[in-house]
C-alpha cells in the first residue's frame, strides 16, 4: 500500500487555543531562510476556518501547517510528490524526519510560543482509493507502519484508529508508552537509516 499523499501530525502539548497569527511571518521566514526541506512556494492563511487547516506553508513536494483539524492543533507535514518509485517505509520515514525537523524549528522560535508533543503522532494516508477507511485496511496499515514506529517509540507504543468515519481519510494515531523528545526520535530514526 503506497498512498499518493501522506501526512504526519505532532500535536500541541497544551489544551488551550493556539494563536495562529505568528505562524504566517514564521513560515515566510522559513521560505526566505530555507529553514525546512522542500521547494517552498507560499503561505496560505485559513485562520478564519473553525477546526480548519490553519496556516499552511505550501511547497512543491511537501506542505507544512499549523493545523486545527479535528479540534486538535498541531504541526502537520504533508508529502505530495516523490522522486521516482519510492516504497511506503521510505516515504513514511522521510515524512516523519521532515516533521521532526519542523517541530524543532517551531519550538526554537520564541515568537510562536508553541510546544509540541513528540510522544504521539497521527499518520494519515491521503488516498481513499489505495487506503479506504475501513476495518480491513486499517489493520493492514497498522501492521505496515508498526515496525518503523517501534524504532522511534522503542519504549513501546499503542496504535489506534484516528477516525471511524468511512468518508474520512484513513488515519492512525501512534502514542509512545513513555515520554520522549524530538531529539531522541530523530536519533533513533537516523541510526536505523544509517545501518540499513
Which pTM value belongs to this model?
0.94
Structural domain contains residue 180: yes
Structural domain contains residue 1: no
Structural domain contains residue 29: yes
Q: What is the pLDDT of residues 108-136, one digit of tens each?
A: 999 999 999 999 999 999 988 889 999 99
**CA end-to-end span of the chain:** 21
Count how many domains the chain has.
1
Structural domain contains residue 92: yes
Angle ∠(73,181,163) on CA atoms, nearest 5: 35
pLDDT at 2: 78
Structural domain contains residue 121: yes
pLDDT surpasses 80 at 82: no
Query: What domain range includes position 85?
Result: 6-195
171: alpha, beta or left? (left if phi > 0; alpha if psi -120 to 50): beta
Helix (H) or strand (E) holding 147: helix 135-152
DSSP state, 6?
A: E
Structural domain contains residue 30: yes
Q: How far apart (Å, rounded) are the C-alpha atoms in residues 69 and 126?
A: 14
Amino acid at each position: 500500500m503506497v498512498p499518493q499523499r501522506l501526512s504526519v501530525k505532532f500535536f500541541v502539548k497544551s489544551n488551550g487555543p493556539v494563536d495562529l497569527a505568528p505562524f504566517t511571518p514564521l513560515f515566510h521566514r522559513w521560505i526566505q531562510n530555507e529553514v525546512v526541506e522542500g521547494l517552498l512556494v507560499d503561505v496560505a492563511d485559513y485562520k478564519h476556518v473553525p477546526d480548519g487547516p490553519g496556516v499552511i506553508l505550501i511547497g512543491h513536494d511537501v506542505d507544512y501547517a499549523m493545523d486545527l483539524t479535528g479540534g486538535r492543533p498541531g504541526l502537520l507535514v504533508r508529502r505530495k510528490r516523490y522522486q521516482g518509485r519510492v516504497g511506503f517505509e521510505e516515504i513514511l520515514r522521510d515524512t516523519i524526519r521532515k516533521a521532526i525537523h519542523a517541530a524543532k524549528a517551531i519550538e526554537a522560535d520564541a515568537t510562536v510560543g508553541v510546544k509540541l508533543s513528540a510522544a504521539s503522532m497521527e499518520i494519515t494516508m491521503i488516498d481513499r482509493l489505495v487506503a479506504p477507511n475501513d476495518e480491513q485496511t486499517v489493520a493492514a496499515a497498522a501492521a505496515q507502519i508498526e515496525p518503523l514506529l517501534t524504532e522511534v517509540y522503542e519504549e513501546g507504543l499503542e496504535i489506534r484508529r484516528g477516525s471511524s468515519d468511512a468518508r474520512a481519510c484513513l488515519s492512525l494515531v501512534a502514542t509512545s508508552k513513555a515520554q520522549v523528545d524530538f531529539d531522541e526520535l530523530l536519533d533513533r530514526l537516523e541510526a536505523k537509516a544509517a545501518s540499513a
